């Protein structure tokens, strides 16, 4: 008797449980129901949100016209270093479009999900667009900030994100360092110079967009060290009457790099579409979208037609001044590196 | 006579001041912020609001937020009650340690909680490697978000119920058992009926935090737009993208969700009171 009743119960529970699991699973996986089309996850850095929103739409149309296939592109944005960390920890990015080559190197090194020579697979060192670092100041430039030297003044508050998590912040820091090296000609004085700038930094956000908001929305600081595209966008969104761009006498050529992540795309069978997605960034349409979003295009024709949009800046490169990203990362941003010695959070 | 009037006057004055201060406080800390959310949400007109709240991104984040709450609240209700029951009604070795451990999710920062799950279930975690070989995704997907949310909301129900159950003691249950009720009958008819107010309050708190959690979810979600971004994360994104009307429209939805919870709570209270 007892056995029988237990049996009846068991017979009831199993289908109920199966049904419940089915319902829950259906709910969870409802979004991936488009089996016929491709889905790409683009893990990117903070300020590229507007760029990739426009580009994804263009690429979807282009890809559909060319192959007849649908492609859905999902975006993830955050500080470049933090995003690389997520990919290392298992975020299944088909493509990574990060702020600098080192962050993709880190993924290649730590996970072997893409080959070490990934940067040679696409044109221009896998950097389809470039940018640089400029100053964004409040309208009328009330504090008369003209160049890097002004950032060391005691009456100036400088806003920049955290170089440990943000790519833009690392470019900011290296641009300042490059200027110091050129001006003083030796490292000790340069270190003092960069230290003096960071003494004026009241808060480090984790990503470039966070810093922009600290400066433009919360009204903190006198100058924002920003990606050129980020500075232009802030002016576009919030008004020319509020902010203006100051171009320093020397800045750095920032090369945000892109790559497909072989191990992920092979598993998801998206290698072809991921490659096409990144290659199309170099097309006339891709380059034009980049330029419209204030990234400097590589294509000479597109560059020519947007010539007046970008200020002329003399630029140093990471290779000639710092011996490439690996050397720069190791010397400046690794634990116990130059940055750790320079920066103490202000009390 | 004189003294009595002045006393009455003062009492009236104190009363009025008390009410005034309370109302002022409420106005500044609750009504004004609420008003700001809704006025900002509708600033660019109803059409913009409607477009914002029906965008695929916002809709998917509402669905995600509700899914997370729907899974996480029942789990915590069952285990929280069970835990409170074991701690309040029985004595065993390590009870003190267990009581302290319950508080852990409140003590650690939500970001740390998120990182903990990434380390544990991420590609380089002990469990993560094994799960990956089985092709099971925990972090950067829904299960991770549920785990993190369940973790940070875990203490609410247990913490509300333990003092309540302890103060009630075991007398009612013992009486029921003596009169021949089974263990389960005793639980549902006696214990549950005694703790229902506390439980309801715990559920409300759990739900409120579950739909509002930001830090822990931000870390485990991988921030995939329209897929692993809950409503609070989406609000943050929209705000960061200068889409202020859309951000506030989404924020007003989150606020409405909270209102719905409170209305449900009052309705349930009324029904429970009627049945008493």
Do B66 and B103 lie in a common domain? yes
Between residues 139 and 168 of chain B, which touch chain A (CB distance below 8 Å)?
139-140, 142
Yes or no, beta carbons of B140 and A92 under 8 Å apart? yes
Q: Which of B222, B227, B239, B247 to mutate to test the interface with A (most CBs of A within 10 A)?
A: B222
Do A217 and A177 lie in a common domain? yes
Do B13 and B105 lie in a common domain? no
Domain that holds residue B17: 1-41
Do A19 and A66 lie in a common domain? no
DSSP letter assigned to residue A163: T
Do A143 and A229 lie in a common domain? yes
Residues sharing a CB contact under 8 Å with residue A237, sequence separation 6 or more, in sequence order: B242
Do B33 and B134 lie in a common domain? no
Task: Report the number of distinct structural domains present in chain A.
Answer: 3
Query: What distance lies between CA B19 and its chain's CA centroid?
Result: 29
Q: How confident is the model at residue B188 (pLDDT cuts 50, 70, 90)?
A: confident
Contact between A90 and B123 (Cβ < 8 Å):
yes
Q: What is the mean pLDDT of chain A?
A: 90
- How close are the terminal C-alpha atoms of chain B, in Å? 47
Chain A positions touching B227 (Cβ under 8 A) are: 31, 74
- The partner residue sitting opposite A49, judged by closest CB among B224, B227, B241, is B241
Measured from the Cβ of residue B175, the count of other Cβ atoms closer than 10 Å reads: 12
Chain B positions touching A43 (Cβ under 8 A) are: 222
Nearest partner of A77 among A93, A61, A63, judged by Cα: A93
Q: Please, where are the H alpha helices in chain B?
A: 2-26, 32-41, 46-53, 56-89, 95-102, 104-107, 110-121, 126-133, 142-153, 155-168, 171-178, 183-185, 192-212, 215-221, 231-240, 244-275
**Dist. CA B96–CA B81, nearest whole Å:** 17
Do A51 and A67 lie in a common domain? yes
DSSP letter assigned to residue B232: H
pLDDT given for residue A8 in this prediction: 40
Do A105 and A94 lie in a common domain? yes
Yes or no, beta carbons of B124 and A89 under 8 Å apart? yes
Do B230 and B259 lie in a common domain? yes
Residues sharing a CB contact under 8 Å with residue A142, sequence separation 6 or more, in sequence order: A222
Q: Report the pLDDT averaged over residues B7-23.
A: 83
Do A335 and A289 lie in a common domain? no
Beta bridge partners, A39, equal A72
The residue that leads in pLDDT, A36 or B17, is B17
Domain that holds residue A219: 133-252+317-342
Q: How distant is the Cα of B23 from the closest Cα of chain A, in angstroms?
A: 29
pLDDT given for residue B265 in this prediction: 83
The first and second tokens of residue A192, run together, are 């003092």
The first and second tokens of residue A70, run together, are 């649908």
Do B18 and B144 lie in a common domain? no
Do B79 and B6 lie in a common domain? no
Do B18 and B85 lie in a common domain? no
Q: How confident is the model at residue B89 (pLDDT cuts 50, 70, 90)?
A: confident
Do B53 and B7 lie in a common domain? no
Task: Report the number of distinct structural domains present in chain B.
Answer: 2
Q: Which CATH number fits the domain that encloses residue A335?
A: 3.40.190.10
Beta bridge partners, A44, equal A77, A97
How far CA A321 is from CA of A38, A147, A176, A255, B85, in Å, comes to: 42, 19, 12, 15, 66
Chain B positions touching A263 (Cβ under 8 A) are: none
Q: Report the pLDDT averaged over residues A285-300.
A: 97
pLDDT by residue (tens digit) across A160-203? 999 998 999 999 999 999 999 999 999 999 999 999 999 999 99
- φ/ψ region of A201 (left if φ > 0, alpha if ψ in -120 to 50, else beta) reads beta
B67 in A contact zone (CB under 8 Å): yes
Do A107 and A205 lie in a common domain? no
pLDDT given for residue A36 in this prediction: 54
**Dist. CA A33–CA A47, nearest whole Å:** 30
**Dist. CA A165–CA A109, nearest whole Å:** 18
Q: How distant is the Cα of B151 from the closest Cα of chain A, in angstroms?
A: 20
Edge-to-edge strand order for the sheet containing A71-78?
A71-78, A38-45, A95-98, A257-260
Q: Report the pLDDT averaged over residues A243-269.
A: 96
How far CA A208 is from CA of A141, A255, B60, B206, in Å, comes to: 22, 15, 26, 33
Contact between A314 and A71 (Cβ < 8 Å):
no
B215 in A contact zone (CB under 8 Å): no
Q: Which CATH number fits the domain that encloses residue B229?
A: 1.10.3720.10
Q: Which of A33, A54, A74, A91 to mutate to test the interface with B (most CBs of B within 10 A)?
A: A91
Chain A positions touching B226 (Cβ under 8 A) are: 74
What backbone phi and psi angles, to 5 degrees, belong to B163?
-60, -35
Q: Report the pLDDT averaged over residues B243-256.
A: 93
* Residue A115 three-state SS: coil
Q: How distant is the Cα of B2 from the closest Cα of chain A, in angstroms?
A: 57
* Residue B37 three-state SS: helix
pLDDT given for residue B5 in this prediction: 52
Indicate whether A184 belongs to any domain. yes
Do B227 and B148 lie in a common domain? yes
B261 in A contact zone (CB under 8 Å): no
If you measure CA to CA, which chain A residue comes closest to B237? A77
pLDDT given for residue A20 in this prediction: 52
Do B226 and B256 lie in a common domain? yes
Do B81 and B165 lie in a common domain? yes
Do B22 and B69 lie in a common domain? no
Do A236 and A335 lie in a common domain? yes
If you measure CA to CA, which chain B residue comes closest to A91? B140
Indicate whether A347 belongs to any domain. no
Yes or no, beta carbons of B225 and A74 under 8 Å apart? yes
Chain A positions touching B222 (Cβ under 8 A) are: 43, 76, 86, 91
Q: Can you list the pairs that B84-87 forms with residues at least 24 positions away whose Cβ atoms lie under 8 Å?
A: B84/B157, B84/B158, B84/B160, B84/B161, B84/B162, B84/B165, B85/B161, B85/B165, B85/B187, B85/B191, B87/B158, B87/B162
pLDDT given for residue B262 in this prediction: 85
- The partner residue sitting opposite B222, judged by closest CB among A50, A86, A111, is A86
A-B CB pairs within 8 A amount to 60
Yes or no, beta carbons of B124 and A76 under 8 Å apart? no
pLDDT given for residue A220 in this prediction: 95
Do A20 and A107 lie in a common domain? no
Do A192 and A284 lie in a common domain? no
- The partner residue sitting opposite B67, judged by closest CB among A27, A209, A233, is A27
If you measure CA to CA, which chain B residue comes closest to A90? B123
If you measure CA to CA, which chain A residue comes closest to B137? A90
**Dist. CA B28–CA B205, nearest whole Å:** 23
Residue A4 has pLDDT above 60, yes or no: no
Q: How distant is the Cα of B122 from the closest Cα of chain A, in angstroms?
A: 5
The count of C-alpha atoms lying within 13 angstroms of the C-alpha of A154, restricted to the half-sphere facing its C-beta, is 0
Q: How distant is the Cα of A319 from the closest Cα of chain B, in angstroms?
A: 32
**Dist. CA A9–CA B180, nearest whole Å:** 25
pLDDT by residue (tens digit) across B109-166? 999 999 999 999 998 887 888 888 888 889 999 999 999 999 999 999 999 999 999 9
């Amino acid at each position: 008797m007892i056995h029988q009743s237990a049996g009846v119960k068991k017979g009831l529970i199993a289908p109920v449980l199966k049904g419940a699991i089915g319902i829950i699973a259906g709910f969870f996986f409802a979004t991936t129901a488009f089996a016929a089309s491709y889905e790409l996850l683009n893990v990117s850095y903070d300020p590229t949100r507007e760029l990739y929103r426009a580009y994804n739409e263009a690429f979807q149309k282009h890809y559909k016209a060319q192959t007849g296939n649908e492609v859905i592109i999902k975006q993830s944005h955050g500080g470049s270093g933090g995003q690389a960390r997520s990919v290392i920890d298992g975020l299944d990015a088909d493509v990574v479009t990060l702020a600098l080559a080192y962050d993709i190197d880190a993924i290649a090194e730590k996970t072997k999900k893409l080959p070490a020579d990934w940067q040679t697979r696409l044109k221009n060192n896998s950097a389809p667009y470039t940018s640089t670092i400029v100053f964004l100041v409040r309208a009328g430039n009330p504090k008369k900030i003209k160049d890097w030297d002004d950032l060391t003044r005691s009456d100036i508050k400088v806003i920049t994100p955290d170089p440990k998590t943000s790519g833009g912040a690392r470019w900011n820091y290296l641009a300042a360092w490059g200027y110091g090296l050129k001006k003083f000609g030796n490292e000790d004085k340069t270190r003092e110079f960069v230290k003096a700038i960071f003494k004026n930094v009241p808060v480090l956000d984790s990503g470039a967009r966070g810093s922009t908001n600290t400066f433009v929305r919360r009204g903190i600081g006198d100058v924002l060290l920003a990606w050129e595209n980020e500075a232009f966008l802030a002016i576009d969104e919030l008004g020319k009457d509020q902010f203006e761009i100051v171009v320093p006498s020397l800045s750095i050529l920032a090369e945000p790099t892109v790559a497909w992540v072989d191990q992920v795309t092979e598993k998801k069978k998206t290698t072809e579409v991921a490659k096409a997605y990144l290659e199309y960034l170099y097309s006339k349409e891709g380059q034009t979208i980049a330029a419209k979003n204030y990234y400097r295009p590589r294509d000479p024709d597109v560059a020519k037609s947007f010539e007046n949009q970008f200020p002329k800046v003399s630029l140093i490169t990471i290779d000639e001044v710092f011996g490439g990203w690996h050397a720069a990362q190791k010397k400046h941003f690794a634990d116990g590196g130059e940055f750790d010695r320079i920066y103490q959070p202000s009390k | 006579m004189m003294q009595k009037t002045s006393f009455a006057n003062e009492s009236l004055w104190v009363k009025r001041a008390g009410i005034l201060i309370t109302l002022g406080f409420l106005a500044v800390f609750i009504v004004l912020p609420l008003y700001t959310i809704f006025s900002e949400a509708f600033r660019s007109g109803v059409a913009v609001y409607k477009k914002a709240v029906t965008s695929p991104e916002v809709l998917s984040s509402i669905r995600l937020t509700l899914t997370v709450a729907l899974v996480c609240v029942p789990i915590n209700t069952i285990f929280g009650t069970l835990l409170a029951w074991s701690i309040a009604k029985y004595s065993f070795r390590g009870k003190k340690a267990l009581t302290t451990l319950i508080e852990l999710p409140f003590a650690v920062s939500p970001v740390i909680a998120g990182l903990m799950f990434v380390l544990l279930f991420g590609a380089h975690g002990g469990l993560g490697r094994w799960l990956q070989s089985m092709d099971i995704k925990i972090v950067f997907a829904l299960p991770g978000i549920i785990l993190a949310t369940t973790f940070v909301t875990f203490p609410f129900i247990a913490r509300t119920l333990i003092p309540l159950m302890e103060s009630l003691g075991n007398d009612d249950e013992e009486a029921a058992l003596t009169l021949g009720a089974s263990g389960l009958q005793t639980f549902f008819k006696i214990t549950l009926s005694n703790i229902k107010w506390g439980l309801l309050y715990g559920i409300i708190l759990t739900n409120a935090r579950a739909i509002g959690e930001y830090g822990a979810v931000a870390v485990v979600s991988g921030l995939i737009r329209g897929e692993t971004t809950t409503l609070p994360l989406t609000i943050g994104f929209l705000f960061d993208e200068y889409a202020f009307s859309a951000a506030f429209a989404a924020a007003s939805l989150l606020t409405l969700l909270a209102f719905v919870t409170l209305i449900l709570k009052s309705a349930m209270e009324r029904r429970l009171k009627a049945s008493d």
